[in-house]
Amino acid sequence: ILNVEQSPQSLHVQEGDSTNFTCSFPSSNFYALHWYRWETAKSPEALFVMTLNGDEKKKGRISATLNTKEGYSYLYIKGSQPEDSATYLCAFLTGTYKYIFGTGTRLKVLA
């Protein structure tokens, strides 16, 4: 059974702090890794689609790295703001077009 794990499950940070979380996934049968941000009462919003080992993507204060050989991806938020408060989900896409989501990291940024 393929499993995707995210850590930590939740965290609280102060405004201005930088933070990061981890997505661990199977290192075999890899096709792509997606990161999403999901704010309460809204639709999940795509952040990054990562496909290549060593890939690094950036969107404003948020960036992500990918290591397909060891099966992990990191999401970084620099200078956290209250509007960054959300659940961050990663999803592993297998070569047979099946998505496997983690349970998410719930981030709360305190003003």
Partner 1 sequence: ETGVTQSPTHLIKTRGQQVTLRCSSQSGHNTVSWYQQALGQGPQFIFQYYREEENGRGNFPPRFSGLQFPNYSSELNVNALELDDSALYLCASSSLATSTDTQYFGPGTRLTVL
> Applying CB under 8 A, which residues contact partner 1?
4, 6, 31-32, 34, 36, 42-46, 49, 51, 89, 91, 93, 96-104
Q: Cβ 36 to partner 1, closest distance in Å?
A: 8
Q: Cβ 16 to partner 1, closest distance in Å?
A: 29
Phi, psi dihedrals of residue 83, rounded to the nearest 5°: -70, -10
Q: Considering beta carbons, is residue 19 or 88 the nearer one to partner 1? A: 88
Q: Considering beta carbons, is residue 31 or 72 the nearer one to partner 1? A: 31
Q: Considering beta carbons, is residue 42 or 70 the nearer one to partner 1? A: 42
Q: Cβ 29 to partner 1, closest distance in Å?
A: 13
List, as one string, the DSSP characters of 13-50.
Answer: EETT--EEEEEE--SSSEEEEEEEEE-TTS--EEEEEE
Q: Cβ 24 to partner 1, closest distance in Å?
A: 13
Q: Longest Cα pair distance anywhere in the chain, in angstroms?
A: 43
Q: Look at residues 56, 11, 10 and name the one whose alpha carbon lies nearest to residue 33.
A: 56
Q: Look at residues 82, 83, 66, 81 and name the one whose alpha carbon lies nearest to residue 24.
A: 66
Q: Considering beta carbons, is residue 13 or 100 the nearer one to partner 1? A: 100
10 Å Cβ neighbour count for 55? 16
